[in-house]
Amino acid sequence: MIPRNLRVLAILTLATVCSSSQVDSGWVLREDGIGPVKIGMTKVQLKAALHDKLSEDDAATENCYYLTPSKHPHVGFMMIGERVARIDVGDQSIPTSTGIRVGDSEARVKKIYGAALKIDPHQYIDDGHYLTVRSKNNKYGIRFETDKGKIAAFYAGAFEAIQYVEGCL
């Protein structure tokens, strides 16, 4: 039999692990941000909001680059003119505010967004599409990239920035 104090320690450890997972899974991508991050924040504001180390991508251009937080390596913050312009999500751990995740079907996105969704052929994937929806104020949007009917990645932010099909390039 396991002593009571060890059982309590195991329960507390499990609760800590679960709550830290909930913090990560508590992040949802909105048209205007994710977690504590808002589109338009400066790099200094982004670092302060995340309390995390940020790494810069190697393919940076003079005016555009990506920052990746160490605690959320599957999220990329596109910086244009030293401000967050777009947030990219590349795995299923983070949903959109409507519950869409990487791996979901195009049909689910179409059902959720309905007539507000604009569908375009993908530039590089024969069986792929861009599914784009604008915010009510037309300032922001979310774009889903699909491959063979499944969501492969998605990103949100300033409407102009979500139109870039090659990130900063």
Query: Model confidence over 119-155: pLDDT tens digits?
Result: 999 999 999 999 999 999 999 999 999 999 999 999 9
Domain range 4-163, CATH architecture? Sandwich (2.60)
Residue closest to 142 by CA, chosen among 107, 103, 101: 101
Predicted TM-score (pTM) of the model is: 0.82
Residues pairing with 100 in the sheet: none
What would the 3-class secondary structure string for 137-169 be?
Answer: CCCEEEEEEEECCEEEEEEEEECCHHHCCCCCC
List C-alpha distances in Å: 27 to 2, 5, 34, 55, 153.
Answer: 36, 34, 6, 20, 16
What whole-number distance in Å separates Cα of residue 123 and Cα of residue 102?
Answer: 19
Maximum C-alpha span of the chain: 63
Residue type, 159: F
Per-domain boundaries in the chain = 4-163
* Cβ–Cβ under 8 Å, residues 42 and 82: yes
The tally of CA atoms less than 13 A away on the side-chain side of residue 119 is 13
Which range is least confidently modeled, 24-33, 35-44, 117-126, 156-165? Answer: 24-33
109 vs 12, which has greater pLDDT?
109
Residues pairing with 83 in the sheet: 42, 80
Residue closest to 72 by CA, chosen among 108, 27, 113, 127: 27
pLDDT of residue 4: 45
